[in-house]
Structure 1
């Protein structure tokens, strides 16, 4: 049983694209439920959720608390956390199904394991390809995927680790670090993410800002202070 959890805040434009690849997986029985955890949207996000037949969870604003709230409502043995502006490529559910079969067959040290998808930007520029290469290196060397790559995690492991914490930023890095590189598998399927932030701020400036935020986090600067830089 796989539960997909999507945090939203005024995501009426992005959410339909994110949910479309999930439809086939629901029909094929690979996804048990889709939960949208909303932080107080004032646009048409809730109408999209209702039209899609997804389960709505309304709560306080903040990606960390929203992800945690959605997880508490989930019934699946496996949880897939997905950003509203991230679209999984066709065939993602087949790879996930094979991965779960391998876990059940004991191909890994433990069933308490997690996985993330391959980062791709929905942009044709050379900057986008450069960023994808840098992210691939980060994941290969550090096993440190971000939330826009999705996170598939065994429920027992998620609960044992304490789940997502109430943080204004870096909630994804915080959980991945607690998972540990030995319990994290990188999948081949792509998670195609919106390039809007990079186009708006400029690729070089946004990449530098992200790197600065990560460095400050490792230097134990409080996330509430890092959030001021990230905006």
Structure 2
């Protein structure tokens, strides 16, 4: 089967212009190198003029929105035109040929998938250990949005899209996709910025994230958890 060669990329943004500029440049290069046709949609919750100008300069569609990531992702998906939907965080970094790999996965029958969790740069032993722990967690749990979730368009809308929540918006989507069809991992292609872990402390942030996940599993509202996630941290 010939792999589909058109991908709609949806990027939620909120005061992430510096990271976004790098990602948009990488996507343009990937489009040229891999031969895929890209539609890039940036959904900007800050309604920033700088973000709008960046999108104009990189031939991306700029869409203003309210600050709720799940709603932003749904708004971007509603404007997507291509067979494959790829959801990226603004601080993601491309590595290798992710476009070719995800198109090949969909052509091979995957309803969707994600990339292995890998940090950019040199995060040290803490980062490498955390990468292995996340790989293990993904086998029994849900890969989150920073792992570059992608979906066949028909499968994404068939199972209900992202939840309109500010946090854990991908959980019901991924769980439904795993019931719907083949949900595949791609080993290489995306890097996650380690800046939040380095800022907050590697294990402090991990513990905080796990406590939030536990709260979600116990039925705490995502809106309340998002307020805790965004709460100022002592000493920062």
TM-score, scaled to structure 2: 0.87
What secondary structure does 1:96 align onto?
helix
Verify: 1:59 aligned to 2:65, yes or no. yes
Match of 2:18 among 13, 23, 48: 13
What secondary structure does 1:83 align onto?
coil
Structure 1 residue runs of 4 or more that deviate by more than 3 Å after TM superposition: none
Number of residue equivalences: 222
- 1:128 CA displacement: 0.7
Distance 1:164 1:224 in 2: 15
- 1:47 CA displacement: 1.7
Verify: 1:35 aligned to 2:44, yes or no. no
Give the match for residue 225 of structure 2: 226
Distance 1:92 1:166 in 2: 27
Give the match for residue 205 of structure 2: 206
What secondary structure does 2:24 align onto?
helix
Distance 1:190 1:75 in 2: 23
Instruction: Give unmatched runs, 5+ long, in structure 1.
Output: 104-110
Distance 1:119 1:179 in 2: 19
Give the match for residue 127 of structure 1: 126
Distance 1:192 1:17 in 2: 13
Give the match for residue 108 of structure 1: none
Distance 1:82 1:131 in 2: 20
> Residues 143-154 of structure 1: matches in 2 within 5 Å?
144-154=142-152
Are the counterparts in 2 of residues 8 and 41 from structure 1 also a CA contact under 8 Å?
A: no
What secondary structure does 1:189 align onto?
coil
Give the match for residue 190 of structure 1: 189
**In angstroms, what is the RMSD of aligned CA positions?**
1.7
Distance 2:106 2:48 in 1: 37
Distance 1:210 1:165 in 2: 19
Give the match for residue 178 of structure 1: 176
Distance 1:97 1:214 in 2: 31
Distance 1:29 1:90 in 2: 14
What secondary structure does 2:115 align onto?
strand
